Amino acid sequence: MSDIHVVNRPARRWALIVTSLAAGAVLAWAAVQTRADAQPAAAVAMAGAPVPAAAPAARLTGLPDFTVLVEEVGPSVVNIRTVERVAVGRAQPGTPDEQMLEFFRRFGIPLPPGAVPRGPGPRDDDERGPQRRQRGVGSGFVYGADGYILTNAHVVEGADEVIVTLADKREFKARVVGADKRTDVALVKIDATGLKPVRIGDVERLKVGEWVMAIGSPFGLDNTVTAGIVSAKQRETGDFLPFIQTDVAINPGNSGGPLINMRGEVVGINSQIYSRSGGFMGISFAIPIDEAVRVAEQLKAHGKVTRGRIGVAIEPVDKELAESLGLPQAGGALVRGVEEGSPAAKAGLEPGDIILRFDGKAIDKSVDLPRIVGNTRPGTQAKVEVWRRGATRTLTVTVGTFEEEQTAAASSRPEPAKAGPLGLTVRELTAAERRELKVSGGVRVVEASGPAAAAGLRPDDVIVGLGNQPVGSVADFERIAGGWPKGRAVTVLIRRGEWAQWVLVRP
């Protein structure tokens, strides 16, 4: 027995050691967990507040499942093919295929002479000469059960035929109801039944970091689903649109398709990408659906979009400019120019004014103004709050109808010029020029260089004010410019064609 005890004692001791180590590990783990769990409570107790009940922390438990969204929204997404008849000669080697045509058109890349898609598409010869059907591809979605389809304007631009293919493979020839290039929104109509329109979402509820999904036809591949997150909102890339930026994969052919939130609602129309290679690089832009719907309703009712305008040229207000004009903080839209005879001119707006509010809406950034004015119905009398010479004042402007502005070219006559400071060479105005411009004085710019050129001044501009003082002659110009404090920005009021503009020259 003693031999047995001697033999078994080491084994028993090892068993006890192993058991002790295991128990110690469990106790140590429990202690760590206890300290980790108690730390927030202790921190609260140290702050002198009662310890709240433990609540589970919000954390990502898994990736989202998009299958339900695809089943719900997929039937509302359509493929759009366009056909354009173009006169061609013999096809040249290396011409692009049909799937790249939409990309070329979207980014304004010109095709070389004779560069047309090669493939099985038909070729016609008629009295107009050799013809070939040039094809483009895009996407869209059902906007109304009565056959209205929303897409991008660039998808249907220049098309002789528009063919819409539904998710159930039915094909229809579509009629373009209207297209608006400035917002890149188009509305087309098909005669079809059994359509399922999308649900429109609220862009205001959309948050940066939120999951979104796109369905479209990249490179002609129908019903392709891609997903990502909202990267930014209110991304300014155009006059009238604050785009939604995402990292959803968008390629040629996705244009016009819907951007969908996790509630199955359309929050945008996929429109543009940022790319140095022509392919997707992680940055894509979508038109906010509220802006698209506003345009679509006008296209549906009138076939075109009517926007308001007041006739001003504007630029941003930075901190330096705000300080120089005594504005408490940077913001608003600086009026650089006022078109002669425009609603703004009739209301009394002047170059150098800073528009702070328009029709009751704050102008936080200069790009807000064109959008707010554009969305205002022509004929509306709107209150405009401006900052002028250290104080605010309110003017009333009657909003006009937007149209393409015409800039008249100023005449130039080779006359003796006189060199001046600020990088400007100027000359006197002739009596005929004063009558033509309807000014009592001023000097014409012959040459602009250095600070003046950097500020945007150019030959043939007429300077009528400098440093908030009138300029009637070259002598006035030299006197004011010569006495201006060195290194300090100076305001220059100019006439350029039919426009009066305000320019800040920074030495």
What does the alpha-carbon distance between residue 366 and residue 25 come to, in Å, rounded to a whole number?
64
Q: Is there a catalytic annotation at residue 255?
A: yes
Tokens 């089943």 locate to 71
**Residue 483 corresponds to which amino acid?**
G
Q: Is there a catalytic annotation at residue 461?
A: no
Q: Catalytic one among 76, 231, 255, 342?
A: 255
What does the alpha-carbon distance between residue 300 and residue 181 come to, in Å, rounded to a whole number?
16
Q: Catalytic one among 184, 353, 368, 476?
A: 184
* Residue 223 is assigned to a ligand binding site: no
Strand pairing partners for 361? 358
Taken as a whole, the chain contains a residue count of: 507
What does the alpha-carbon distance between residue 79 and residue 48 come to, in Å, rounded to a whole number?
63
Largest CA distance in the chain: 135
Q: Residue 332 to residues 76, 186, 427: CA-CA distances in angstroms?
A: 41, 32, 35
**Residue 2 corresponds to which amino acid?**
S
Q: Which SS3 state, helix, strand or coil, does residue 322 take?
A: helix
What does the alpha-carbon distance between residue 332 and residue 354 come to, in Å, rounded to a whole number?
6
Q: Is there a catalytic annotation at residue 473?
A: no
Structure tokens that stand for 109 in this block:
């890349």
* Residue 253 is assigned to a ligand binding site: yes
- Classify residue 339 by burial, with Cβ atoms within 10 Å: 0-12, 13-18, 19+: buried
Q: Which SS3 state, helix, strand or coil, does residue 383 take?
A: strand
What does the alpha-carbon distance between residue 374 and residue 368 come to, in Å, rounded to a whole number?
10
Q: Catalytic one among 139, 154, 217, 342?
A: 154
Looking at residue 278, the DSSP 8-state letter turns out to be S
The helix (run of H) or strand (run of E) holding residue 105 is helix 101-106
* Residue 254 is assigned to a ligand binding site: yes
What does the alpha-carbon distance between residue 287 and residue 184 come to, in Å, rounded to a whole number?
8
Q: Report the 3 state secondary structure along 19-53.
A: HHHHHHHHHHHHHHHHHHHHHHHHHHHHCCCCCCC
Tokens 């908030």 locate to 468
Sorted by sequence, the CB contacts under 8 Å of residue 176 that are 6+ apart come out as: 156, 159, 162, 186, 187, 188
Q: Report the 3 state secondary structure along 171-225.
A: EEEEEEEEEECCCCEEEEECCCCCCCCCEECCHHHCCCCCEEEEEECHHHCCCEE
Sign, CA dihedral 408-413-415-417, equals positive
**Which of 492, 486, 490 has its CA nearest to residue 426?**
492
Which residue numbers are catalytic?
Answer: 154, 184, 255
Q: Pick out the residues of the known binding site.
A: 154, 184, 253-255
Q: Pick out the residues of the known binding site for substrate.
A: 154, 184, 253-255
